Amino acid sequence: MRALLVEDDPSSALLSTKVLESDGFAVDVATTAQEGLTCARVNEYDVIVLDLGLPDGNGLSVLQALRREGKKAPIMILTGALEKATTVLALDAGADDYLTKPILIDEFRARVRALIRRGGAQRSEQVVCGNVVLNRLTRQLFIQGVEVSLTAKELPLLEHLMLHRDEVITRSELLERVWDMHFDPGSNVVDVNVARIRRKLSDAGADIRIGARRGMGFILCPADAPLA
């Protein structure tokens, strides 16, 4: 899953990013209203966390522009204690929830999970491929009914492949969707994590595997399909 955090305060941005990443999100951070608007227009996000007080304007303008343009991603606004009137305007303009700063970590996590759960009719709480079941809310993977542990990077990588089964996904797309938009494209991090996931799928008796298409990328396919 991928999240956009629009927040100009470094300490608040760092805390929110760590919480989201620990829950399996790839997080893009924008520090201005214009940067946040550009990111949201270019990329698809599962959730957007939007601070109202930004150096080049109010986050309300970002929210209004995104809703006018038909962007459906759930949006949580972050608000100061003295911004209640603006908070009401934001909710009326299409925000899905709000949270007063400083955030409480457990509440922040729960609110984001609730937004993801309500995020649209197209969203499925579970993704099933053969005998492999991924719960996108609890971030749990089950193979033949037995839970299999994946790391915070392995799980979203497999999730993206499961959501796009039978499609060849390039390394650059995986870097962008699973890590972040600034990740080094020359890194071998995708191949390392794919190798680890392959072992875990095989050891647990999964009837799917991650195949490779030389020079193109990776594809989720039946377990008896060739690796390349």
Of all helices (H) and strands (E), which one includes residue 114? helix 105-117
Q: Are 115 and 94 in contact (CB under 8 A)?
A: no
Give the confidence band of 177 by pLDDT, cuts at 50, 70, 90. confident
What does DSSP assign to residue 118?
T
Residue 156 contacts residue 24 (beta carbons within 8 Å): yes
d(CA 30, CA 51): 10
pLDDT in tens, 101-157: 888 899 999 889 888 877 643 456 788 999 999 987 778 899 999 999 998 889 889
- Give the predicted TM-score (pTM) of the model: 0.65
Q: How confident is the model at residue 184 (pLDDT cuts 50, 70, 90)?
A: low
Average pLDDT, the chain: 86
Strand-pair partners of 221: 209
Supply the pLDDT for residue 120. Answer: 47
The CATH number corresponding to 2-117 among 3.90.1150.180, 3.40.50.2300, 1.10.10.60, 3.30.2350.10 equals 3.40.50.2300
- Confidence tier at 181 by pLDDT (50, 70, 90): low
Q: Which residues have C-beta within 8 Å of that of residue 44, sequence separation ≥ 6? A: 2, 73
Domain 126-222 of CATH type 1.10.10.10: yes
Give residue 44's Cα distance to chain centre: 9
CA distance 3 to 110: 15
Contact 227, 212 (CB under 8 A): yes
The span from the CA of 200 to the CA of 219, in Å, is 16
Mean pLDDT of 172-180: 76
Q: How far apart are CA 174 and CA 194, in angstroms?
A: 11
Per-residue confidence band for 164, with pLDDT thresholds at 50, 70 and 90: confident
**String of DSSP letters for 190-221:** HHHHHHHHHHHHHHTT-SEEEEEETTTEEEEE
Domain spans, the chain = 2-117, 126-222
